[in-house]
Structure 1
Amino acid sequence: MMTDMTTGNPAKLITRFALPLLLGNVLQQTYNIVDSIVVGNFIGAEALAAVGNSGIVIFLLVSMFAGVGMGAVILVSQFFGSKQHEKLRTAIDTIYIGMLAASILITAAGIATARPFLRFMHTPEGPTMEMSATYIRTLLLGTALSFGYNINGAILQGIGDSKSSLLFLSIATLVNIVLDLLFVAVFDMGVFGVALATVIAQGVSFVFGVWYINRKIKIFRLFSRRMRFDYRIFMQSFQIGLPAGIQNVLFCVGTIVLQRLVNGYGPAFMAGYSATNKIDMFVFMPIVSFANAVTTYVGQNIGAKNLGRVKEGVRSTIVISVGISIVMSIFVTLFGRHLLMAFTQDTDVLKTGEEFIKRLMPGYFLLAIIFTLNSAVRGAGESIIPMLSSLISLLVARIPLAYLFDYFGGRYNMFWCYGAGWLVGTLIIGPYYLSGRWKRKAFRFVEESAKT
């Protein structure tokens, strides 16, 4: 069901929109968690390290195109808010044509460069290297299916429908869990089976999503015979999304540099780091769900030239997101060891995970502030400052501090770098949002969109 967010109580609208996104993110992470639990318990710690080690390489390969896709989705929300349905249809066609073409390039480049990336990250030679390379290459063969699966959900989000994508995620999760157990526990296919299960699950959900959207949504149709690629809309989405794409790429580079430091301590340390990151994603899910909701909310209200509603919605989102992050951080800190034991019983892995959690959780409320403000400003069409906030937080603060804390305080103290980086990012985006300068950019952007 499409939601017009230009009228009604902002806090209720954003919460109602965010909850299905949150449930969807829970399902998304559930099948990622199942991958790790199956790998850790049926294959071993080295396989768990390999799966965790490989995710950032995949994200690096798709990150630039994902940023441009985000720009297109912001246009979708603005065209929907301004009731420009013909441009909405053209924008959706443009997203699909561009993203599916990009998937071919990404697959070829990723298969060729997987091992060099892994070696740069100090991935241990032997089983961990071999399993990492297998996992990456198998997932890359399904890039087009993964893009289509994610684009369907993003388009629905742009038009204010966060519930239908929950159905797509449910299908993907169920198929993935069944195939994980079948391929690994029954057929003993190792990490190849885990990756293949993910590809098939996303493919099934993508095909179902196309059928469902074409049947239920009346204002546009996916893969119609009259699909059009609009160069102007593509360039507008490129203008909005390029900074996010650059941010994604540099974020991946920074994360790879941090992973390189982690990998230097061996498979057990890598596995503890990987398992904690899986738990971390559950704490992060409410933050990203409300951030995505506020992007759509701001985009629609900017499209309707209704800036007066924006501040109220952003303020409500910060209060909700910060409150949830504090509660979840306390829970994970208290029960971290028990959560980690779902992945492994290895004492060295558990020790690393516990130490990471103690240093990660105290500053989590800052991440909620950064993501909400970055998403709000980006929804208004301003993407440069959110990019700078994120990149300075990561590249200027987190990564150098990780190496400094590791050198002077030992390997566990490197993890204090997360909170320190989030503090720096808050000090950049907070004053900019409060200054209101992003509003002038929003007005200019809406006027330019109306002329295309």
Structure 2
Amino acid sequence: MRLTAAERSNSTGEAPLWREMVRFAIPQTASAALQLLSGTITAIYFGQLLGPSALAVASAFFPIFFLLVSFLIGLISGGVVLVARAHGAGDILQVKSAAGTTLSVCALLSVAVAIVGYRISPELLEIMATPQDIMTSAIDYARVTFISLPAVTLVFAYMFLLRGTSDVQTPLLVMVIYIGITLVLTPAMIQGWCGLPQLGVTSAPWASFIACAISLPCLIVYLRVRRHPMAVDREFLRRLRIDSKIAAPFFGIGVPGGIQTAVTSLSEVAMVALINPFGSSATAAYGAVNQVVGYLLVPMQAFGLAATVFAAQAIGAGKPDRLGKVTRIAITLDLAVGISTVIALGVFSRAVLSWFVVDPATLAIAERALLISLWSYVLAGVSEVLAGVMRSTGTVVWPTVIALAAIWLVQLPAADLLSRWVGLEGVWMGYPAGFTAALVVQLAYYGLIWRGRSRG
């Protein structure tokens, strides 16, 4: 079964490529920004309705949870590439097979992580030196979060795979539904509105679980009505299994991505360890800076994903000559958005950071940290575009090695060394050092090695 010419217009270049990338990036940016905003509002709910101890519970558990699921998040990238290639080739059955294999793997792994995480939650929280006064609440929060993990994984994996067909509007629509439900149910279950049980700190993960239980059927019905290539029909159900022919390229692309995501998340734990000795104000400043940086990264990551998807579709369509054009346009858009955002945040840094911190000393630390490191995230965005294009062709090991080496051999050692020489500001300088090193080596590998192989 093949897609019609109209259905393949996004992958065959009938519209200007830069316009298609912008159309892809805007909804993708909005969707990711909604996720960030949802997390911010949930933190406000906890802080205002339950007090600082509830916020501490979520903060204590999040690094553990993200580390455990980060591999799963990166693994999905393999499925997106395969779906995009099949879509570019106009092969609907292959689209369904790639999606079915990805969802099957995600379901099995998420259930395994959920079972193990549920059982060892107390031990994990002990390792993180969670304060005893919040230990019981933290265990409850962790266990409910693990219970909800399989449902959350399926919804988000399905939405992510849709982007491989250049469909970013549907994931945005589902995200609006999902977040709307969680933002209503979380305070409702904190305070027991309309006869609902008062669930305290577990209200957020329970709200997430319920939101997934509602969003997934809505997504399935919507795709069936639209006759979407990834609609759950009889043929899709037949292919909802791990296909051995797809599993090899899926794991070949996804496993390095999963390793990179997991090890990168671990590096942030190491950065916190370098910052903590400078006091609670420094730690609080780190959290505020991360909030701001998150919103900067959203559009740049959207262009990185667009580069991956459009390059993979070009490969599937048998047009590898378009990879250079995809790369140039994605980098140009990434730089345009990144540089303008950095300038705006630099000018209004104090005002923006004051949304997250009010203490003058903490605000001063955060502002200085933002001005030192913010510009370098533009370099990280360009690196992500290059890695995404290479990933689309199946070249994943060396881009992953380069990214991880830049973190663990440049960023962290530089942060440690510079902090001994110039104090806290030296820690923030580690980010530009690592991002610069990563971009220089990625550019060298892309231009001197990968491009020659791809042409050959």
> Please, what TM-score do these two structures have when normalized by structure 2?
0.88
Q: Which amino acid aligns with 1:331?
A: A
Residue 196 in structure 1 maps to residue 206 in structure 2: yes
After superposition, the Cα gap between the structure-2 partners of 1:240 and 1:47, relative to the gap in structure 1 and judged at 3 Å, is same
Give CA deviations for 1:322-365 in whole Å, capped at 9, x if unaligned: 12112222222333333333345345553443343222213222
The aligned residue for residue 106 of structure 1 is 113
Q: How does 1:149-188 map to 2 (within 5 A)?
A: 149-184=155-190
Residue 30 in structure 1 maps to residue 43 in structure 2: no
**Shift in Å at residue 147 of structure 1?**
0.9
More relative contact order in 1 or in 2 (CA 8 Å, sep 6+)? 1
The aligned residue for residue 10 of structure 1 is 17
After superposition, the Cα gap between the structure-2 partners of 1:256 and 1:137, relative to the gap in structure 1 and judged at 3 Å, is farther
**Shift in Å at residue 383 of structure 1?**
0.7
Give CA deviations for 1:61-102 in whole Å, capped at 9, x if unaligned: 122233332112211110111122222212211112111111
Q: How does 1:297-316 map to 2 (within 5 A)?
A: 297-316=310-329
**Shift in Å at residue 405 of structure 1?**
2.8
Q: How does 1:17-96 map to 2 (within 5 A)?
A: 17-44=24-51, 47-48=54-55, 50-96=57-103
Q: How does 1:102-141 map to 2 (within 5 A)?
A: 102-121=109-128, 123=129, 125-127=131-133, 133-141=139-147
The aligned residue for residue 430 of structure 1 is 443
Give CA deviations for 1:91-120 in whole Å, capped at 9, x if unaligned: 211112111111111112223444555555
Q: Give the distance between the partners of 1:79 and 1:308, measured in 2 at CA.
A: 18
Give CA deviations for 1:249-290 in whole Å, capped at 9, x if unaligned: 221222222233344556554343223212211110011111
- Indicate if the aligned counterparts of 1:41 and 1:344 stay in contact, CA closer than 8 A: no
Q: Which amino acid aligns with 1:290?
A: F
- Indicate if the aligned counterparts of 2:10 and 2:20 stay in contact, CA closer than 8 A: no
The aligned residue for residue 427 of structure 2 is 414
Q: Residue 382 of structure 1: SS of its match in structure 2?
A: coil
Q: Which amino acid aligns with 2:114?
A: T
Residue 212 in structure 1 maps to residue 222 in structure 2: yes
After superposition, the Cα gap between the structure-2 partners of 1:148 and 1:246, relative to the gap in structure 1 and judged at 3 Å, is same
**Shift in Å at residue 126 of structure 1?**
3.8
Q: Residue 10 of structure 2: SS of its match in structure 1?
A: coil
**Shift in Å at residue 216 of structure 1?**
1.8
- Indicate if the aligned counterparts of 1:45 and 1:268 stay in contact, CA closer than 8 A: no
Q: Which amino acid aligns with 1:370?
A: S
Gaps of 5+ in 2: 1-6
Residue 221 in structure 1 maps to residue 227 in structure 2: no
Q: Give the distance between the partners of 2:286 and 2:188, measured in 1 at CA.
A: 27
**Shift in Å at residue 429 of structure 1?**
0.8
- Indicate if the aligned counterparts of 1:79 and 1:87 stay in contact, CA closer than 8 A: yes
Moved more, 159-168 or 185-194: 185-194
Alignment partner for residue 301 of structure 2, among 267, 276, 288? 288
The aligned residue for residue 3 of structure 2 is none
Residue 377 in structure 1 maps to residue 366 in structure 2: no
Q: How does 1:304-383 map to 2 (within 5 A)?
A: 304-347=317-360, 349-383=362-396
Q: Give the distance between the partners of 1:405 and 1:129, measured in 2 at CA.
A: 36
Q: CA RMSD in A?
A: 2.7
After superposition, the Cα gap between the structure-2 partners of 1:115 and 1:22, relative to the gap in structure 1 and judged at 3 Å, is same
Gaps of 5+ in 1: 444-452
What is the number of residues matched between the two proteins? Answer: 442
Give CA deviations for 1:298-325 in whole Å, capped at 9, x if unaligned: 0000111212222112111111111211
> Please, what TM-score do these two structures have when normalized by structure 1?
0.88
Q: Give the distance between the partners of 1:46 and 1:340, measured in 2 at CA.
A: 23
Q: Give the distance between the partners of 1:134 and 1:353, measured in 2 at CA.
A: 33
After superposition, the Cα gap between the structure-2 partners of 1:116 and 1:263, relative to the gap in structure 1 and judged at 3 Å, is farther
Give CA deviations for 1:423-451 in whole Å, capped at 9, x if unaligned: 111011111222252563698xxxxxxxx
Q: Give the distance between the partners of 1:44 and 1:352, measured in 2 at CA.
A: 25
After superposition, the Cα gap between the structure-2 partners of 1:355 and 1:55, relative to the gap in structure 1 and judged at 3 Å, is farther
